[in-house]
Structure 1
Amino acid sequence: MSEASDGTAMPQAARLRDARVKNSVQQTGNGAECYGTDAGEVIKSAAPVFPLEVFPETLQGMMREADERLNYGIAFTGCSMLLAAASAIGNSCMVKMNPDWLEGVTLWMVLVGDPGTGKGHALKRVLKEIELQDAARYKVWMEDMKRYKRALAKFEKDKKKELVSDGDEPEMPVFKKTILSDVTPEKMGRVHADNLRGICLHVDELAGWLQTFNRYNASNAQKNYNTTWSRSPLINDRVGAGSIRIEVPCIMVGGTIQPKILPDLMAESRGDDGFTHRLLFCFPDAEAKPWNREDYDRSIFSRWDSVMRTLLALPYEVGDVVLPQVLTFRPDAKGLLHDWQGILTKEANLCRSGYTKGVYAKIGQYAIRLSLIMQMVRYACKEGSKEDISIESVNSAIKLAEYFKASHLQIYEEMESRSPLDDLPDDKITLYHALPEQFKKSDGKAIATTMRMASRTFDRFVGNKTFFRKKLWGEYEKQL
């Protein structure tokens, strides 16, 4: 038996864990490297591969077929399924980590890809059962509102005749919807108060989500979202809007974004309070594909729709009583999760970047949530229990956590390596590379003319101090 640094015997399991940690210093997650330098942390990451095997086999076949026939992409479909499952489960299920710690399923999912890569279609399709539920509830609510308006008119007439008291006023019906799109933070809170099971903010383009921050106090908006992610009580007191208090918020966020918009999402101010640490990124090597000429079987997603209906049917409210199902980890599953989290912590401590440490911390918490989600998906596929979490579900959650960790580091690398040139149109990028390091303005204008760039456009471009420095009269030097 080997010895620890203090001379005591080190158990074999501990030696194996330490060996894995040493091997993971250079390889953190799925293809990502993390190592420290005097100048700070350097991260290199390849596009991680989504672990298809985490899902039950019946769903794996569906995902492959959706990729082949609909060009949805396995990664986009898989990540969308996680968000949809979490939205269906909501607060109906929680997992007990210790007597004072109940964890839920809150996810913030960001699908990154160029136009035409199928990211938005995949997300919309797997959310279909929730959309159908919302549509059915809306239809019932509209009928209830008609009856309510008639009852209210009668009440007001009877009140004038002093036939009824204020306590007899009819109660306005509530529309419990799950999926929201473009809403203000205040409106979102009111909708959630009507549906304590949980809501899903589905934004086709997450740039629109960011714009809602800009319309209001951005720092307060981020703070409120961070609060809901941590499942701490959400309190909203605004003049004229009344008070809202949600003890256990459950707000999923999911949407798509193009790579060129990532700088807005990953702005430094959003990382200062840990907002971006909470994001799960799906950024596969995906490209637009031509439409499939052959018809496809519309029942491709029938198995998934059945899973969603099972999850949506999980009880949460019985009358006025809230009764969430509280699961526990089986001993071997909890042991595996703790061993992995210990390795994750050692990896985080070896990294120098404060931002990366924040990502690691949130990924650890996500592993718990993903364990619960995967267990309930297995239950809905009739492959698992809804009483406790198995080692199979934890193993799947760890693979997913490693995937999302690598994806986040990939995005981080993308932002760290960005150049101001990336924000220029293609013609100016081409011209910039064609210009010598030092040049006379007349020579530069001649090169621009060969590229059919207008003289005024060139003059404005060469006057931009981000890209050029004026050395002498009529002579310039490139800055990048």
Structure 2
Amino acid sequence: MVKEEQQSVYVGKNLIKKTPRVIDLIDLENDYLKHDRHNPNPFPVDVFPKPLQEIIFEAHNKYQFCLDYLGAGILSAASAAIGNTYKVEVKKGWEEKANLFTVIVGRPGDSKTHALNFCFRPIHKHENEAFKTYETELNAYIQNGLEQVENREHLKKPILKKILISDFTPEALITCHANNKKGMYVYVDELHGWIKNFNRYNNSGEVETYLSLWSGTQISTDRASGKSLRISDPFIGVIGSTQISVLKEFAKGGRHTNGFLDRFLFVYPSKQITLKWNINKVDAVYIDNYHTIISSLLDFKCIDEFKSEVIPIETKAKTYLFNWQNNRPENYLFDYERSIDIKLQQYVIRFALILQLIHHVIEGCTNTQVELKAVQDSIKLFDYFYHNAIQVRQETSRKNYYESLTQLQKDILEELPEKFTTLQGIQIACKEINGKPRVSSRQFQTYLKDQKLFKKYTRGHYEKVI
């Protein structure tokens, strides 16, 4: 039980109000998630401070947005807001940034876009205000140029300060980043289109560019006009959504073997519900609180235009992290499992940096080192995203084979239960349509021999493996 009293938390100079509770409903919500047998891989909402958890559950309960979308969306929004202002030093010569490559996966109509818009609303608001400032400065620049013809070359053209970019060429991305040293986030509603556009720039090595951007290594571009650009310390993140049916596009063109696919954090909810229209609204207090939190992260500034604040991992936290990593499996059944594991191990460090800074702006925790709790909670995120990454790998390889089947084969496969006997299978597959069996018993038993679709676990008993 919690005493019924008004509680508040300061974020910077702003007061975050907490709704009085008799029972801590957030703890109850988290307990339910952990014990929901229909959801084997819930997003670990409890990695966030309580004020953020309240916002997530409020948006989930009022708007019915998937908790996974909200949790991952807020993690990415925090990453975008932090940008290149902070890095974490793992050991001498090894630093990690806070950039994430995140893909929200779902069915049509699952409100992926709406959930992301909710999570990034404070950044969209920040972008709108920056654009108004830019327009004002640009109009003044044009006017001054008209009035001061003789000194026009001394006027400095204003630059649009922004974080999010949606429609661009690889060259435009680097140009925009050159004007926004804090970093950029590729924010695309449908990442399928972004992936397909890679084909337009085959000669530019766009996939290789993103591999470098994920790692934060320097990039440069040489224009036909003769002007060259170089970003020595880039910060590029990616956030967007895609449908389950087009996941296989992410694995095409060698992207499943060059490490590109394994750099993505897939948000693939195990449990989805059909959204129902309603007139519920999120309490304004929660909206204000969320804007205050993200705005506080947006207020972070680099030491100077080109230098980040580099913070260490505290000794206990580093010992815990290294022990965990040293005890990861050494042998894997599939090569992609190893690749996923290694990339996500790096993400643990990035998650820890983001969580530490979130706790800093909400609860006043230190921003001079990464603490043990941030590392422990980051490992929870590792487990969540690892489960999803394996599911996506299985899904993409499975989909390719599944789509090679005839429609009749697909229909029979869908109608069969997960486990069945030979007799049950024959009854389903050979049922009569317009007075005739769909297939013969012999045809079905030949179909059962396809080991990519079925596994025989005892005499006369089968289970589907796709």
CA deviations 1:387-417 (Å, max 9, x no partner) are 1111011111111011111110111111232
Q: Which residue of 2 aligns with 1:89?
A: 82
Q: TM-score, structure 1 length as denominator? A: 0.74
Which of these residues, 332, 339, 345, is aligned with residue 358 of structure 1?
339
Q: Counterpart of 1:304 in structure 2: which amino acid?
A: Y
Closer, same or farther: CA 297–144 of 1 in aligned 2, 3 Å: same
Q: TM-score, structure 2 length as denominator? A: 0.77
Whether 1:137 aligns to 2:154 is no
Q: Is the 8 A contact 1:315 1:323 kept in 2?
A: no
What displacement does 1:341 show?
1.1
Alignment of 1:252-267 (within 5 A): 252-267=237-252
Distance 2:282 2:132 in 1: 31
Q: Counterpart of 1:306 in structure 2: which amino acid?
A: T
Distance 2:208 2:163 in 1: 22
Whether 1:170 aligns to 2:146 is no
Q: Is the 8 A contact 2:181 2:306 kept in 1?
A: no
Q: Which residue of 2 aligns with 1:373?
A: 354
Closer, same or farther: CA 450–146 of 1 in aligned 2, 3 Å: farther
CA deviations 1:149-206 (Å, max 9, x no partner) are 2233345x42xxxxx5x9x531211111111112111111111110010111111111
Closer, same or farther: CA 432–122 of 1 in aligned 2, 3 Å: closer
Q: Is the 8 A contact 2:189 2:241 kept in 1?
A: yes
Q: Which residue of 2 aligns with 1:180?
A: 165
Whether 1:315 aligns to 2:301 is yes
Whether 1:249 aligns to 2:234 is yes
Q: Is the 8 A contact 1:109 1:253 kept in 2?
A: yes
Q: Which residue of 2 aligns with 1:411?
A: 392
Distance 1:433 1:403 in 2: 28
| Structure 1 residue matching 2:95: 3-state secondary structure | strand
What displacement does 1:90 show?
0.4
Distance 1:67 1:173 in 2: 41
Q: Is the 8 A contact 2:303 2:309 kept in 1?
A: no
What displacement does 1:449 show?
12
What displacement does 1:86 show?
0.4
Distance 1:200 1:49 in 2: 26
Q: CA RMSD in A?
A: 2.8
Q: Is the 8 A contact 1:92 1:324 kept in 2?
A: yes
What displacement does 1:299 show?
3.4
Q: Which residue of 2 aligns with 1:390?
A: 371
Closer, same or farther: CA 337–233 of 1 in aligned 2, 3 Å: same
Which of these residues, 71, 95, 100, is aligned with residue 102 of structure 1?
95
Distance 1:199 1:102 in 2: 19
Unmatched segments (≥5 aa) in structure 1: 1-30, 32-45, 159-163, 435-445, 452-479
What stretches of structure 1 move > 6 A for 4+ residues in a row? Answer: 423-428, 431-434, 446-451
Distance 1:206 1:277 in 2: 16
Distance 1:433 1:413 in 2: 17
What displacement does 1:78 show?
0.4
CA deviations 1:10-46 (Å, max 9, x no partner) are xxxxxxxxxxxxxxxxxxxxx9xxxxxxxxxxxxxx8
Q: Is the 8 A contact 2:63 2:280 kept in 1?
A: no
Q: Counterpart of 1:287 in structure 2: which amino acid?
A: I
Q: Which residue of 1 aligns with 2:256?
A: 271
Distance 1:181 1:74 in 2: 25
Which of these residues, 203, 206, 209, is aligned with residue 188 of structure 2?
203
What displacement does 1:293 show?
4.1
Distance 1:185 1:219 in 2: 8
Whether 1:325 aligns to 2:309 is yes
Aligned length: 385
Q: Is the 8 A contact 2:248 2:397 kept in 1?
A: no
Closer, same or farther: CA 254–148 of 1 in aligned 2, 3 Å: same
Distance 2:51 2:92 in 1: 36
Q: Counterpart of 2:293 in structure 1: which amino acid?
A: V
| Structure 1 residue matching 2:222: 3-state secondary structure | strand
Q: Which residue of 1 aligns with 2:462?
A: none
Q: Is the 8 A contact 1:115 1:288 kept in 2?
A: no
Unmatched segments (≥5 aa) in structure 2: 1-33, 416-431, 438-465
Distance 1:186 1:88 in 2: 23
| Structure 2 residue matching 1:203: 3-state secondary structure | strand
Distance 1:414 1:432 in 2: 16
Q: Counterpart of 1:133 in structure 2: which amino acid?
A: H
